Structure 1
Amino acid sequence: MGRHGVDEFPTDGEHGASVGLRISKPLARLNRATDNSTCGVRRPGGQSDPIGRLEAHASGAWRASRKGFSVEVVETLTNAQFQTVYNILSLALAAMAATTVFLLAVTPRVLPRYRLALVVSAMVCFIAAYHYMRIFDSFSDAYIAVGAGTPGVQEVFELVKGDGFNEGYRYVDWLLTVPLLLFETVAVLALPAAVRRSLLWKLIPASALMIILGYPGEVTAEIAPKAIWGALSTIPFIYILYVLFVELSRAAKSQPNQVGKELAGLRWLLLATWGVYPISYAFPMLGLDGADAFVYRQIGYSLADVLAKCLYGLLIFKIARIKSMDDSPEFAEAEMKEAPSSK
């Protein structure tokens, strides 16, 4: 038994003794790490993680580039950077969950022909909430706090060996929710069946193709393939905008004036929020990389998702209410009676 409380290899000379000592020292460090106040390493939330310390620091040389499932992930974040991403993901998750509940609760407040649009909008937010829960958990598990409680050492968060941060959940989410967003846009207008089918056959395949073509560029670190896949993904994106701004406008000419104004707001909201994604996608091609770029990308993606799903869903509800009131004076009168009177 060695002096550190572990069995050392039998030694016949200096070389054997040095081997035994090298093995016992990291294990002794592991024993000391059981006290969270001295180990200087903790999981988010305060749990001690001596194994993480030993894996990341016993050799003192784990600095290789890491890649998550879909995008390159920086291996070190400052405390402020980690907390910013942590909080923005939490905000997005809460917003998606709350909007899901709200949209389901207000479904009876519109005529039956418009309820499908609200249910689909609630589905969009529910799917997004699920994926943000997975993204949030993946991010929390991917980094470990280093330097906590160590005098004179600034706390940072380092990427843990293993699967890393899996941002592929975003693309799975977009593949499911973007077609549904376009479906609810058409459904809430209650267009003639032939017109509705024509628009959906154009919008939904194009939206799926846009996401599928963008993914290979997201997973590669090479600039040329990223640019090529990004350009290919832009083609269906432009086509979707054409259908929304030209063909949908033409089909919606018979809608009430107020609905036309809200529909215009929907389209501009989509253009503004969807415009965030290619900008963030192009960060590496613009020479923007590292921890700051990673944080900005997470903020941009999360806020764009909240606006494109939660705010969009609320606007869909507003349009459904307007059309319900316009279609049925009896419904409008009943709703006005239930509305709280102002005194």
Structure 2
Amino acid sequence: MNKLLLSIDVARLAADDYVGFTFFVGCMAMMAASAFFFLSMNSFDKKWRTSILVSGLITFIAAVHYWYMRDYWSGFQESPVFFRYVDWVLTVPLMCVEFYLILKVAGAKKSLMWRLIFFSVIMLVTGYFGEAVDRDNAWLWGLISGIAYFVIVYDIWFGQAKKLAVAAGGDVLAAHKTLCWFVLVGWAIYPLGYMAGTPGWYDGLADLGLQMDVIYNIGDAINKIGFGLVVYNLAVQASKKTEA
């Protein structure tokens, strides 16, 4: 038994390793959120179950990646850039899908969903190129990524998505506004982290160093779990009105 325990490679965290600690806590928090969303699915009408399912998938995918990122950090003491972008390229488009799902009640078409997914993928792929592949031109890749991000922001705040939310009104409009704030404020940490991790005219931000991993980890958990809780609350409110 002792030999078995000794053969297991256990990642150890120092008491002052705040990056590793936030990786671990983020993983556990998002795994717990996944269980909550999956187990609550059958409590709602069929039209809301897909939204709750997607919320659970977002946090579950993130939890798995955070487990690997914690091990990577423990082994190399380096920011797990590759794993972060793999996580984001799966979860961020799903977060965009949530806008489509809650706006279906107002007649949202799949073209809106695919538009948001397209720009989210462009935002992430170009961000990865700038941070990990072509760092000499990080400013250019960051600019393209930023443009894609602002297209998403425009669409949900002022474009077709906003019009559909207004048409739906009530709880849907309130949920849409909250999700918009997550994208505008919550997602703002990612461009900041990009600039802190790449060379360019913004070199002063590099002083943030590994603190950005702590900010990323906390921000990821808040953004992803928060997204799901907004959708969950919308489903609860809508179900109450249906029952009444």
Report whether the alignment pairs 1:203 with 2:116.
yes
Report the CA distance between 1:44 and its aligned residue: 5.7
**Partner Cα separation in structure 1 for residue 79 and residue 146 of structure 2:** 26
Contact preservation (8 Å) 2:103, 2:161: no
Number of residue pairs matched by the alignment: 231
**Partner Cα separation in structure 1 for residue 184 and residue 134 of structure 2:** 27
Report the CA distance between 1:123 and its aligned residue: 0.5
**Partner Cα separation in structure 2 for residue 272 and residue 45 of structure 1:** 33
Match among 30, 37, 41 for residue 107 of structure 1: 41
% same residue: 27
Moved more, 245-254 or 230-239: 245-254
**Partner Cα separation in structure 2 for residue 106 and residue 276 of structure 1:** 30
Q: Which is richer in helix?
A: 2
Contact preservation (8 Å) 1:117, 1:185: no
Structure 1 unaligned runs (5+)?
Answer: 1-42, 47-77, 144-163, 333-343
Q: Which letter maps to 2:90?
A: L
Report the CA distance between 1:113 and its aligned residue: 0.7
Higher relative contact order (CA 8 A, sep 6+): 2
Distance 1:289 1:252, change over 3 A: closer
Report whether the alignment pairs 1:235 with 2:147.
yes
Match of 2:12 in 1: 45
**Partner Cα separation in structure 1 for residue 175 and residue 79 of structure 2:** 38
Report the CA distance between 1:271 and its aligned residue: 1.1
Report whether the alignment pairs 1:186 with 2:111.
no
Match of 2:175 in 1: 262
TM-score by length of 1: 0.62
Report whether the alignment pairs 1:281 with 2:215.
no
Aligned pairs (5 A) from 1:218-229? 218-219=131-132, 222=135, 224-229=136-141
Q: Which is richer in strand?
A: 1
Match of 2:6 in 1: none
Contact preservation (8 Å) 2:89, 2:124: yes
Report the CA distance between 1:234 and its aligned residue: 1.0
Choose 1 or 2 for highest CA Rg: 1
- Name the Cα RMSD after superposition: 2.3
TM-score by length of 2: 0.86
Report whether the alignment pairs 1:88 with 2:13.
no
Match of 2:156 in 1: 244
Structure 2 unaligned runs (5+)?
Answer: 1-9
